[in-house]
Each structure stands twice: as structure tokens, then as C-alpha cells.
Structure 1
Amino acid sequence: MSKEDPKNSTGYERTLTNAHIQLIALGGTIGTGLFLGVGNSIQAAGPSVILIYIIVGIFLFLLMRALGELIVSDLSKHTYIDFIEKYLGNDIGHITGYLYWLSWITLGMAEMTALGIYFQYWFPHLPTWIPGLVTIVALLFINLLSARLFGNLEFSFAIIKIVTIIAFVLLVGFLLIKGDQTNFGPVALDNLVKHGGFFAKGSSGFWSGFQMVIFSFVGVELVGLTAAEAQNPQTTIKKAINEVPLRIILFYVLAIVAILVVIPWNKVATNSSPFVQALGATGIRNAGSIINFVVISAAVSSTNSILYSAGRILFSVSFDGKGKWSQTFGHLRRQLPQNALMLSACLMAIAPIIIVVIGDQAFSFISSTSTSMFLIIWCLMLLTHIAYRKNTAPDQLTEFQMPGFPYLDYATILFFVSMIVLLLILPDNRVSMIAAIVLFAVLAASTKIFRTKQN
């Protein structure tokens, strides 16, 4: 049985329609991880990256079903952190809340970094930090106006991304049937196995491809964060979550297959979007510029969603607190978490400094750090779902239940834990994973000290 609060006790206004939620959920799966990061995944794993996307997609769908059950069980709660506090304790909720907030901040930095790379397609000498900084200022202004304006903007961006991916897949399918030639040779399915086989990089390459693939899915749970401002969350949230498998197949697997039948995997570059490379190779006039515009809109869209999420998570963690921090960031102005949004935007704006210091490796480092944080958080979310089921009477459970409980919960946790171990083993991801674990430990220690002082 779910609890629905049409007025929303936190003060949020329910202005997001069914169309908003569906398009936000659909568009939320398409971002920099797919448009840019897939190049890194292809170089690491070869054609077997397709299998990696399917595997990760299955476990992310199971995570979303668990989170979906939590969301519809009590619609008066406005983020996943509220459920963690209720079922795992206030301290764990406090720690996870701030780690979750910082995870979204880091994700926003990755998107801002990608924007600089995209703009260099047209302006090779433009400093990569400028596009991201201009974007975050503009998006902060939009998010400070209203949640509905955010929803309208995401609605438009999502349509652009969805139509582009569908058109890209259909175009490549047409070229495949015709047997057309590109700068890289014939458009052919043979490209999936011709250059070293499906597992061209062997087992080590296969495993090294997981980090960037997981990063591609980071933020898929955004749909749950819109529940507090959705007009009919009971219906729309269920529908959005159940459509995840279709989105995975269409927007990830088919899109990557389309890239690889145009460009042999060993010819895919990592310094620009593989979509831009693939369309540019077809010889279609201005195709590269058109798709580059779309991937820029995708990065702007993702940054917009990230800022929206980060502001609401910080508000949620600070809500009902008594200190100066909570009074500043745990209150709404004009039914929006304005202070939380402004602080989140300011922290994301640190990305240009990282770009200047690290240079070309900034995107890989930031994306790896974001992936590491989210893996920890996803494990805690699944533990929360297990605690919810164990502490809720059968007749009080919602109809939208996680299938195969508790076995699939534990299987999904085991998968995420194995990914944490994998990132600790891989040299390129080890520092980022250790940093995420250390940050969690620091947050835990500071929370314990703060609680001790209060008592």
C-alpha cells in the first residue's frame, strides 16, 4: 500500500506531467556516457562491449525495480535518501546523502568536461573549460525559475536525443542493406568479428570495458527523484521503470552495433564522439556537424538533469535540520531548493580547474570517480530495499514489487561489489575507487564526531 501526498509535505509543487516524466526517464538514459564514453569502452573491449552493455543493463533494471518499489510504497518521501534513513538509520542516511550529492556533482563535472571536447569539433582552439562554464550558469538560471520549466527543457532535449538515435540506427540499417562504402570500408556486420573476433581484446579487455559502460548508466535512477514533483507518480513512475529494458536495447545496444558496422572497432577514436565519427565517415554532407549539435544538446540535457538532482538531494539531506547549514540549504524558496541549486552549480564549476590541471585525461578521471561513488550508493540502496521488505507486512506491500526477492537483490549487490573489486584491480580506475571509499569513510567519521558533540 502506498502513501500519496498530493500537496507534498516538503513544499514541492507537483508540476511535472506524465509526458515530462516519460521523456525525462527516456532521455535520462542517453548522455555523455553513450555519446562520448562509448569510444573508450570500444577501445578497451572491442566488439564485446555490446555484451557488457547488456549485462550491466540487466542489473541496472533490477536496481530500478527495487528502487521503484520503494518509491511507490511512500510517495511522501522525496528522494531515496529518505528511505535509507528510515530503514538503515539516520547516520547511514546522512552519510549516503552527502556521498550521493557529491556523486551527482562529479557527474556534472564529467558532462561539463565533455562539452569542451564536443565544441572543439568546430572550434579546435577553444579552451575546453569555457563551454561547460557558460552552460552551468545558464542552466542554474533556468532551474531557479521553476521545476516545470526544467521539465519542458528536458522534454525538448529528450525528443532531440531520441529522434537522433532512432534516425542514426535506421540510416545505418539502410546503408547496411545497400552495402555502402565509407572512409573505413564497407558498412558490414563483419566488422563485429573481422578485426580480431568479437572478444578482440581478450578477457582483460572485456573486464576493463565495464567502468565506462557503468558510467553510461549512471543517473538512470533520476526518474525516482522526480516523484516528489510528478502530478501522477503512482502511474508514471511504474511505467517509466518498466520501459528501461527497451531503452537499453534501442539506445545502447542497437546504437553501438550501428557504430561498429560503420567503423571497425580499432578505428574508433576516443577524442570525439563515435557517432560524429560514424556519420562523418558516410560522406553525407554536414552529417558530422548535425550529430555534433545533438551530442552537445545531450550533454547540456544531462547537466540540466544533474543540477536538478543535486539540488534536491542536498535539500533532502538538509531538510528538517536545526543548524545554520540546514536552515540555508534545507528550505525552499518559491517551492524550489534555490540555495541547494546554487551551491551545487558552484561546485560543478570547479570542473574547469580540473581540466586545466589534468588536461586530456580529465574526462576519464572524473567519469571513473563518479562511477566509483555510484557503485557504493547502489549497494546501499539495495540493502535499503531488503530492509524495507523485511520490515513490511505482506499485506502492506505495494503491487509494484521487485521480482525474485530476495535472490535478485543479493545477486545485484554481488555484481556491484564485484565491480568495486574490479575497479580496485584495474590500474586506471584504482585511484578513483580508493578515493570514493576514503570519502565514504571520512563522511562516516565526521558524522560520528558530529553526533557525539550533539550528545
Structure 2
Amino acid sequence: MEKSQITENADGTMRSLSNRNVQMIAIGGTIGTGLFLGSGTTISKTGPSILLVYLVLGIFFFLMMRAIGEMLYSDPSQHTFVAFITRYLGPTVGHFTGWTYWLGLSFCAMAEITAISTYIQFWFPNIPSWIIQLVFLGTLASVNLIAAKVFGEAEFWFALIKIIAILALIATGAFMMISHSTTPLGHASIQNIFHNFALFPHGSLGFISAFPMVFFAFQGIEFVSITIGEAETPHRIIKKAVNETLLKILIFYFGALIVIMGIIPWTHLTAASSPFVQVFKLAGFPAAAAIINFVVLTSASSSLNSFIFSAGRHLYQLAQENPENSWMHQHVAKISKNGVPAAAIILSALFLLITPLMSLTSATASVFTIVAGSSNDMYIIVYALAMMAHRKYRESTDFLPDGFKMPWYSITSPLTIAFFAIIFITLFFIPQDIIGAVGAIAWTVVFGGITYLHQRSVVTANAEQ
């Protein structure tokens, strides 16, 4: 699209993202290293019943996206769904959610930067981690500073590589199962999925622990909502992206998991190695490890690209919500000539410089693990607040009776909120997640209290003027 044809928003951002950009951003943001590297762990915990876990999580994420999509359809000018939390639950909750979500994005981005350096060192073990991290952070931050369209195109190709890898796995696996190929583990067949089937092969706790793992695998699907403010035809794209993206993701996940378990009996799968590498090696591709390493490298780069994009928009939103005479509002709530929140992107990228600094010492590794775990768990609270904001939207004058409505709202809305609460409770039954869950509660109490006192002082100061 020519620049002259691109619509400019009132705040100076450009509506330059096409439907294919938005679709790929949503798919790319959700299908990550969790599938390529972590699926062996989830399958080993639950066996074939992992498909049921993905289905249940998929349904509730779809309902959440329909709630967010309904609010965006009523006002597609917003750059982030957190804006609706501010509007319908108040500035205190919105401020708390915005900073919480921004920090969560930042810690996720730090994890991806760390992963990128590991993947590069697969080929170049002598290059220091901090150099790799600086190069990738600088490159992808620059991509985000150029224009939203450039970010969208980069994300399109990143996501396409992942999708090609998954389709190649599905095609290879389907051929092996149809031809009943013989492997060192037996015959490739769909029957392997049902052989020795048990709903709870490692007990009910193993099954329950798979839910948070798959929950975090779906984390990032809301990125589609962050692109709507810069999408070419927002109303059409909202409907198409929300309705189709989750279906495509479920197809990719289901297809990959069925093929993996059809070729490798699920009792042989462990967390030790990537199921993708195992399948391609059994199919006779000795370079499988290098190929999948390239795929997960692009996957981590894709996630980092999306995290920088999203973090920049959220920091921009937070700056806008600050008083006009504040430093944040005057210096960060700015849109560059390229139509991007450049100051917010740069500040977000500078915060991520903590990662290469941490790579110089191992002393902060355990602290980072705890903080990152807590921020991941905070996503559950953020999603629940988005659902509560949607309920307030339904009661407001903004509600569009003929809009893009959440299906069976009176039943599905409270069910979705209850489900997120259950997911959070399950964290306390999983030893490795307890610290993160407690950290998330502590963050909510402490930072929530600080936010409340800050907002109260702002209101008092405005009243005295």
C-alpha cells in the first residue's frame, strides 16, 4: 500500500497493517518455542489427553478474545486492551494493569533475548552472549522504530517460517503414519495415540499441572488486539482475526501433537529433547537438530519483535494517561514522523538492556527466574481484569447491541472469569509454580496499594488547582 493511501489516526499513528499482517502477528505471537521444544514435557505429563487440555484452553481463550474483540469493535482507535480496563474499571486499576502488563512483556522479552543467544551459540559457541543479545535487541528495536508496516512484514516472515516447519512436520508425519513406516520405536500409526491410553497416566496432579503450562503456551494471543489501532480496516479485521486465528492455532497445535504421538509412542516422549527433532530424525533427516534450531531462533526473534511492539504501545498508553504536566506525558506520549511511539519503544528497549548486563554474571539468574515467573502468573490476573472490564462495557452507554458481541455472554463471561481463577489456584498445587503465584499476589497487593495512593494524590492535587 502506498503511503498516500494509508490512513493516519488522530494521534499520528498509521493504519498500515493488513489482514495478513494481523493474522500472522496473532499466530506468530502464540505459536512459539513451547510447541517446538516444550511439547515433549506436556505430553509426558498427560499423554494423549493433552489434546483435551489444548481444546479446553482454546475455547476459553477464544471467549476472552471475543470479549476483547467486542470492546475493540466499539472503539478500534485504542492501541491496547488495557485502555478499556482504565475506561471501565477506573484509572487506578488501569494504571496498575498497564504497568503490570508492560513489566510482564519486558520480562518475557528478556527470556526471549536469553534464548536467542543460546540458539546462536549452537552454531557459534565462542561468541559472548551479551554481544548476540545487543545485536538482536538493536536490530529488532530499529525495525519497530521504522514503521508499523515494517514490523508487520518482519513478523509475517518470522511467523511463516514457524508455520512452514509445523506443516512440514504434519506432512512428514502423515506420510509416515499412512505408510506405516518402521522406526526404532515401532510402527508409525495413529493407533499409537490410543495404545495404553489413560486420562491421568501420571495421576490427576500431572494432568492439572498441564493446564498452566498450556495456558502460558497460548499467552500472547491478545497481541492481535494491540495491532487493531494500526490496522487498515479495523472492523473487518477484528472479526476475521479473532474468529479465525484461534481455529488456525488449534489446527496447528492439534495437527502437530497428533503426528508427534503417532510416530513416537507417547510413553517414549520426555522433556529432554524436542519432539520435532525426534520426528525429523526418525524420518531420515540427520540435520533435524540444526533445522529446528533455526526455526526456534526465528520463533524467539518473532516473539521478541512482538514484545517490543506491544511494550512500546503499552508504555505510550501509560504516558498518555499521566497528567499533561508530567514528564511521562510530555516526553513519552509522543508519536514520531514515522507514525510510531518512538520514545516509548526506545525506553522499553533500554529497559531490556538488563539482559546483556545479567549475562555477564550468574548471580542475578535466580532472582530473574522468580521475577519472570511472577510476571507470567500476573497475566492470569490481567486477563481476568479484561473480562471484568468487558462486563462493565456491557452495562455502559458504549455497548453496541448490533456489534461484534461475545456469544452467550450471560453464561460464557462468568465461566471464563471463573476458569482463569481456577488456573491461578492450580499454581499452588505445582511446586515449581508456588513462588511465582505468591510473587504475583505480593505484586498485586504492594504495587496495587502504591498505585491507589498515587492516583489518590493526583486526584487531590487536581482538586486543589
Q: Normalising to structure 1: TM-score of the pair?
A: 0.91
Q: Given the alignment of the two structures, is residue 107 of structure 1 paired with residue 137 of structure 2, yes or no?
A: no
Which residue does 1:374 correspond to in 2?
379
Q: Aligned partners of 1:130 and 1:79: how far apart in 2?
A: 32
Following superposition, the deviation at residue 174 of structure 1 comes to 0.3
Classify the secondary structure of the residue corresponding to 2:15: coil
Q: Given the alignment of the two structures, is residue 325 of structure 1 paired with residue 328 of structure 2, yes or no?
A: yes
Query: Larger deviation: 88-97 or 325-334?
Result: 325-334
Q: Given the alignment of the two structures, is residue 387 of structure 1 paired with residue 392 of structure 2, yes or no?
A: yes
Is contact 1:165-1:255 (8 Å) kept? yes
Which residue does 2:96 correspond to in 1?
95
Classify the secondary structure of the residue corresponding to 1:75: coil
Is contact 1:107-1:367 (8 Å) kept? yes
Which residue does 1:86 correspond to in 2?
87
Following superposition, the deviation at residue 419 of structure 1 comes to 0.6
Q: 2:453 aligns with which of 446, 449, 454?
A: 449
Classify the secondary structure of the residue corresponding to 1:188: coil
- The one-letter code of the counterpart of 1:338 is A
What CA RMSD, in Å, does the superposition of the two structures yield over aligned residues? 2.6
Q: 1:185 to 1:128 in 2, by over 3 A?
A: farther
Which residue does 2:340 correspond to in 1?
336
Residues 5-404 of structure 1 correspond to what in structure 2 (within 5 A)?
A: 7-119=8-120, 121-122=122-123, 131-194=132-195, 197-321=198-322, 322=324, 323-334=326-337, 335-351=339-355, 357=362, 368-392=373-397, 396-404=400-408
Aligned residues: 450
Q: Aligned partners of 2:15 and 2:189: how far apart in 1?
A: 49
Which residue does 2:463 correspond to in 1?
none
- The one-letter code of the counterpart of 1:176 is M
Q: 1:432 aligns with which of 426, 436, 441?
A: 436
Q: Aligned partners of 1:86 and 1:297: how far apart in 2?
A: 37
- The one-letter code of the counterpart of 2:235 is Q
Q: Aligned partners of 1:348 and 1:50: how far apart in 2?
A: 35
Query: Larger deviation: 62-71 or 428-437?
Result: 428-437
Is contact 2:166-2:256 (8 Å) kept? yes
Following superposition, the deviation at residue 280 of structure 1 comes to 2.4
Query: Larger deviation: 409-418 or 140-149?
Result: 140-149
Q: Aligned partners of 1:362 and 1:171: how far apart in 2?
A: 42
Q: Aligned partners of 2:40 and 2:131: how far apart in 1?
A: 23
- The one-letter code of the counterpart of 1:208 is S
- The one-letter code of the counterpart of 2:279 is A
Following superposition, the deviation at residue 298 of structure 1 comes to 1.3
Classify the secondary structure of the residue corresponding to 2:14: coil
Which residue does 1:405 correspond to in 2?
409
Is contact 1:192-1:198 (8 Å) kept? no
Q: Aligned partners of 1:310 and 1:389: how far apart in 2?
A: 28
Which residue does 1:418 correspond to in 2?
422
Is contact 1:32-1:298 (8 Å) kept? yes
Is contact 1:311-1:344 (8 Å) kept? yes
Q: Aligned partners of 1:154 and 1:49: how far apart in 2?
A: 29
Is contact 2:104-2:372 (8 Å) kept? no
Q: 1:44 to 1:351 in 2, by over 3 A?
A: farther
Q: Aligned partners of 2:317 and 2:65: how far apart in 1?
A: 20
- The one-letter code of the counterpart of 1:243 is E
Following superposition, the deviation at residue 209 of structure 1 comes to 1.1
Is contact 1:20-1:151 (8 Å) kept? yes
Following superposition, the deviation at residue 281 of structure 1 comes to 3.1
- The one-letter code of the counterpart of 2:389 is T
Classify the secondary structure of the residue corresponding to 2:8: coil
- The one-letter code of the counterpart of 1:332 is I
Q: 1:112 to 1:190 in 2, by over 3 A?
A: farther
Q: Aligned partners of 1:230 and 1:106: how far apart in 2?
A: 27
Query: Larger deviation: 239-248 or 149-158?
Result: 239-248
- The one-letter code of the counterpart of 2:18 is T
Classify the secondary structure of the residue corresponding to 1:443: helix
Q: Aligned partners of 1:53 and 1:398: how far apart in 2?
A: 31
Query: Larger deviation: 327-336 or 266-275?
Result: 266-275
Is contact 2:74-2:398 (8 Å) kept? no
Q: 1:75 to 1:265 in 2, by over 3 A?
A: same
Classify the secondary structure of the residue corresponding to 1:243: helix
Q: Aligned partners of 1:369 and 1:185: how far apart in 2?
A: 42
Q: Normalising to structure 2: TM-score of the pair?
A: 0.89
Q: 1:367 to 1:38 in 2, by over 3 A?
A: farther
Following superposition, the deviation at residue 289 of structure 1 comes to 2.1
Is contact 1:199-1:206 (8 Å) kept? yes
Following superposition, the deviation at residue 301 of structure 1 comes to 0.8
Q: Aligned partners of 1:207 and 1:269: how far apart in 2?
A: 18
Q: Aligned partners of 1:145 and 1:249: how far apart in 2?
A: 33
CA deviation vs aligned residue, 1:196-218 (integer Å, no higher than 9, x gap): 74532121110111122111111
Following superposition, the deviation at residue 39 of structure 1 comes to 2.9
Q: Aligned partners of 1:122 and 1:113: how far apart in 2?
A: 15
- The one-letter code of the counterpart of 2:414 is Y
Q: Aligned partners of 1:390 and 1:343: how far apart in 2?
A: 37
- The one-letter code of the counterpart of 2:333 is G
Is contact 1:113-1:363 (8 Å) kept? no
- The one-letter code of the counterpart of 2:420 is F
Segments of structure 2 that go 5 or more residues without pairing to the other structure are 1-5, 461-465
Q: Aligned partners of 1:379 and 1:30: how far apart in 2?
A: 22
Q: 1:365 to 1:448 in 2, by over 3 A?
A: closer
